[in-house]
Copies of this chain bind each other. A is one copy, B any other.
Amino acid sequence: PDIKRSMVKNAFGISLIKGIDFDSNGIVLVSDVIRKALEIDVSVLMGANVAKEIANEEFAEATIGAKPKHAKTLKILFQTPYFRIQTVSNPRAVELCGALKNVVALGAGFCDGLGLGNNTKAAIIRIGLIEMARVIEQVTGRFPTEILVESCGVADLITTCYGGRNRKCAEAWVRNPEKNWDTIEKEMLNGQSLQGTLTCLELNKVLKTYGENVNEKYPLFKNIYDIAFQGAPASSIVEGLVAEEELNER
């Protein structure tokens, strides 16, 4: 592409795009697409970053996943007194957090739509975080313990499950059983896309390509898929939580 011809030698990139793609071989990261097309090293920035609050210069953190040789430069480039950067060395894990949190947010929205309280919602967030880490392990080969307590991990997940648009739409979807996802998206998001349902749908397909019985490894994610796309009642969200707990005790 033109960008590639215009690049200086030794150029490197950073992706701020929150989302992943899928093909027949499994999960495709946006940063991998850029890496391949431009033949450069690509880092990523993710975190608990509601855009409007950053525009108001309210304090926020973000995580940059970058190779060590680029981490310092990127931190200097992005950090301001109210926008604080932490760097970690695993960009693909950081990027996966930014997409998978939106699936957990659907579960949080179902919980809100059912009128359940803080205990249940905290359980969904907690177990969602564990399943996110397990998908990351499946894709990158390593369980990302250190990422879970970064802004791109637990913090972004909390923000998304309390304030995000995926949560909001999932709540409305449970409360208005006559409407489908497309209608909800059109009515509520003003042209923005409902990433959680897309990711949920594709994730369910793609996890199977990693091996047999892989759905058993993600009972909450499977349960969210069954509610969103297979007609399971929203109240069955609890079954995914219980199945995950039992999995952890085996």
Contact with B along A223-239 (1 / 0, CB 8 A): 00000000000000010
B159 and A122 contacting across the interface, CB-CB below 8 Å: yes
B145 and A126 contacting across the interface, CB-CB below 8 Å: no
- A76 CB to closest chain B CB (Å) equals 13
Query: Which residues from B are CB-within-8-Å of A248?
Result: 86
A245 to B60, CA, bound (A): 12
Query: Which residues from B are CB-within-8-Å of A155?
Result: 122-123, 125-126
Residue from A117, A120, A122, A130 with most neighbouring chain B CB atoms (10 Å): A122
Contact with B along A156-173 (1 / 0, CB 8 A): 101100110000000000
A86 and B151 contacting across the interface, CB-CB below 8 Å: no
A118 to B159, CA, bound (A): 6
A53 and B118 contacting across the interface, CB-CB below 8 Å: yes
What interface size band does chain A fall in?
A: 35 or more
8 Å CB interface, A44-58 against B: 48-50, 52-54, 56, 58
Contact with B along A39-76 (1 / 0, CB 8 A): 00000000011101110101111000000000000000
- Pick the contact of A48: B54, B119, B151, B158 (CB < 8 A): B119
Q: A123-B48, A123-B60, A149-B129 are known contacts. Are A118 and B163 too (CB-CB below 8 A)? A: yes
Known contacts A122-B154, A129-B154; can you find 15 more A-B pairs with CB under 8 A? A53-B119, A56-B117, A59-B116, A59-B241, A60-B120, A84-B245, A117-B163, A118-B158, A118-B162, A118-B163, A122-B155, A122-B156, A126-B151, A126-B155, A148-B148
